[in-house]
Structure 1
């Protein structure tokens, strides 16, 4: 095997090992060989896009080692951005919690109002069933159905609500 060009179209880890060390590898660990193979493997694909991707990744690794201050500035900018987004999300959470509390209090008020109206309606039904209706001369016990009684109770509740 020659070190300039392997015979097969794909380089195996054994080929790379021979290419890198020039002989057998009894003292070199497999992980070291694999990492060296990834760094130093020539592009064997016939596709030009695959070769460009391999070359670009190798070049980007090389340029990042030389541009550590630029990388640190990028990381610093990303951290500032994440911090500002975090603060904005916390503010949104507080606003939503305040809105939830407001809705809960409104819900409680509406429940109390419904209970009060329900009690008024029950009192009006008792009045209709127990006594003579104010709008007629006959007794409420002459109601044909409960639906009629409920309707009369609602009317009575509306009249008392409108009068108050």
Structure 2
């Protein structure tokens, strides 16, 4: 199964995706890690375009074809990136579960964004202003929406894990929890 996360910076994607990957013993792919590695290599400067996503799609497909579950951690803000994750799952012959994390409390969300520290060397974190100004396409595909504003990380992971266990093999969900 491919579990593709999305959501604005500061909603808890990395924390939740890591914990879920650990719980499921899944392969964990983080776009920020791949992008920062490309920047550090000097192969394109700071503007690497879609390289991180393209690398993640390829690595995800390799692991899915091996029969492994993959948890993909990215902002996944555009229709094109979401469609690409769905194509990866289709080509690998696995189901996809798309999960959008939101933080409905704007004050808490801003505090998270402004209080974060980079956990990847030289990674430049977004500002609150850049989060607000970011292009973020409305989701058109079926997906699970989880609000992280007033719940613990453990509760979010447990909610997602429970949803994964009740999904029919070829379905995803389209509801908020």
TM-score, with length taken from structure 2: 0.19
Structure with greater proportional strand content: 2
Structure number with greater Rg is 1
TM-score, with length taken from structure 1: 0.21
Higher relative contact order (CA 8 A, sep 6+): 2
